[in-house]
């Protein structure tokens, strides 16, 4: 039996194991280094598209007051279990980064690991920036990253990944369209339920954005782009960058 479901709902079951190569400790350290670099001492931090809460819990363990938001309830379930196991009191709420409204303000909003690429049009990207702005104090920081065309072409385009485990298997197929700069990913899972395996399929769509487009939309929505660095560094991005980390400061309130 096959079932097409929303992205990351059943992916959550095996996400942390499939992404075990992602160095969240390094990511947390880099975020803290950015705070120091910009001489900023935040207290309240929101992570949008927080997934299973790996970065959220790490930063909470370092003393930051964290909150997490994600569209996929399946990922949030894992995040809540993770926080509870570590004795951390972190609110994890369901919401879409394009239009969420928590009626709260934060010192910093984070969005990591290509999540912004799920905004598949310039209009969507502008919506994310506006939603984040509603939740940032003036002078607050928005820190996020984008995967690049180089990364998609070199590591994912026309490639298929697959693994078999005792309780799950998956097939991961990727296709990139140079014309519209869209990467389509088809994920097929087989998850053990008792003696049988249940088949699920998720379709993921991500958009590549140019740095100039990001800067333009940040300015339009009341931010000043402070930097666009090659990931984990304080070096300007280049054509060799696989991921670009952006830091923007909210300069003014805008009409929503």
- 89-104 pLDDT, tens digit each: 999 999 999 999 999 9
The pair of three-digit structure tokens given for residue 206, joined into one six-digit string? 């991500």
Q: Between vectors from CA 206 to CA 203 and to CA 211, what angle results, nearest 5°?
A: 175
Cβ-based burial of 63 (10 A; exposed 0-12, middle 13-18, buried ≥19): exposed
pLDDT band at 4 (very low <50, low <70, confident <90, very high): low
pLDDT band at 1 (very low <50, low <70, confident <90, very high): very low
Name which of 77-86, 119-128, 153-162, 168-177 the model is least confident about: 153-162
Tell me, rounded to whole angstroms, the distance of Cα 188 from its chain centroid.
Answer: 21
Q: Give the Cα separation of 249 and 127 in Å (integer).
A: 17
Share of the chain above pLDDT 70, in %: 96
What pLDDT is stored for residue 20 in this prediction? 86
What pLDDT is stored for residue 27 in this prediction? 96
Residue 252 has pLDDT above 70, yes or no: yes
Phi, psi of 16 (to 5 degrees): -65, -35
Residue 12 has pLDDT above 80, yes or no: no
Sheet of strand 243-250: strand arrangement: 92-94, 65-70, 44-48, 106-111, 136-147, 243-250, 223-230
- The stretch 145-151 carries a mean pLDDT of 96
What pLDDT is stored for residue 3 in this prediction? 53
Which secondary-structure segment (H or E) carries 55? helix 54-61
What pLDDT is stored for residue 8 in this prediction? 67
Q: pLDDT by residue (tens digit) across 210-230?
A: 999 999 999 999 999 999 999
Q: pLDDT by residue (tens digit) across 162-192?
A: 889 888 898 999 999 999 999 999 989 888 8
- The stretch 152-166 carries a mean pLDDT of 88
Q: Give the Cα separation of 227 and 248 in Å (integer).
A: 7
Q: Which residue has the tokens 């990931």?
A: 231
Domains of the chain: 15-148+208-250 (3.40.50.150), 151-206 (2.20.25.110)
């Amino acid at each position: 039996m096959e079932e097409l479901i929303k992205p990351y709902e059943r992916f959550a079951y095996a996400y942390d194991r499939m992404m075990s190569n992602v160095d969240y400790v390094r990511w947390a350290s880099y975020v803290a280094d950015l705070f120091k670099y910009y001489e900023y001492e935040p207290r309240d931090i929101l992570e949008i598209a927080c997934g299973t809460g790996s970065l959220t819990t790490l930063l909470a363990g370092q003393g930051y007051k964290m909150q997490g938001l994600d569209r996929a309830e399946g990922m949030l379930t894992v995040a809540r279990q993770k926080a509870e196991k570590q004795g951390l009191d972190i609110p994890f709420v369901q919401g879409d980064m394009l239009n969420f409204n928590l009626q709260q303000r934060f010192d910093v909003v984070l969005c990591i690991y290509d999540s912004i690429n799920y905004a598949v049009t310039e209009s969507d990207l502008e919506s994310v920036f506006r939603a984040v702005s509603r939740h940032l104090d003036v002078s607050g920081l928005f820190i996020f990253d984008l995967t690049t065309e180089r990364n998609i072409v070199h590591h994912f385009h026309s490639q298929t990944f697959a693994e078999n485990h005792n309780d799950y298997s998956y097939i991961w197929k990727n296709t990139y369209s140079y014309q519209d700069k869209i990467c389509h990913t088809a994920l097929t899972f087989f998850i053990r339920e008792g003696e049988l395996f249940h088949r699920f399929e998720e379709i993921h769509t991500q958009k590549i954005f140019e740095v100039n487009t990001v800067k333009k939309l940040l300015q339009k929505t009341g931010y000043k782009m402070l930097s666009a660095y090659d990931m984990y560094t304080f070096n300007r991005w280049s054509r060799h960058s696989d991921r670009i980390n952006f830091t923007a400061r909210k300069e003014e309130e805008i009409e929503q």
